[in-house]
Amino acid sequence: MSAAIRQVISIANSDLTIIEHQGERVVTLAMVDQVHQRPNGTARRNFNANRERFIEGKHLFKICASDFRTHKPDTISNKSHEDVILLTQRGYLLLVKSFTDELSWQVQDMLVDGYFEGQRPAAPPVTQRIAQSRHRLALAKELHRTRDAGLREVIHQQLDEVSRAMGLPTPELESLGRSAPKTPDVLKVFWEALAFLDSKGVAYNHATASNILALNLRELASQLLEHGQPLRFDSALRQTLWQSHSPRCLHKNRTVHSRLSGKSIKCWVFERYSES
Q: Mind listing the pLDDT tens digit of every residue in the chain (276 residues)?
A: 544 445 788 888 888 888 888 888 999 999 999 999 999 999 999 999 999 999 999 999 998 877 766 665 555 555 556 788 999 999 999 999 888 888 888 888 888 888 887 755 555 667 777 888 889 889 988 888 887 778 888 888 898 888 888 778 888 878 777 665 555 678 888 989 999 999 999 999 999 998 999 999 999 999 999 999 898 888 888 988 988 887 889 999 999 999 999 999 999 999 986 543
Same domain, 227 and 250: yes
Same domain, 194 and 260: yes
Residue 64: which domain range? 8-119
Is 246 part of a structural domain of the chain?
A: yes
Number of structural domains (the chain) is 3
Contact between 192 and 198 under an 8 Å Cβ cutoff? The reply is no
What is the end-to-end Cα distance of the chain in Å, rounded?
50
Cα 240 to Cα 156: distance, rounded to the nearest angstrom: 29
Same domain, 160 and 81: no
Domain boundary among 102, 119, 136: 119
Would the pTM count as exceeding 0.75?
no
Cα 223 to Cα 215: distance, rounded to the nearest angstrom: 12
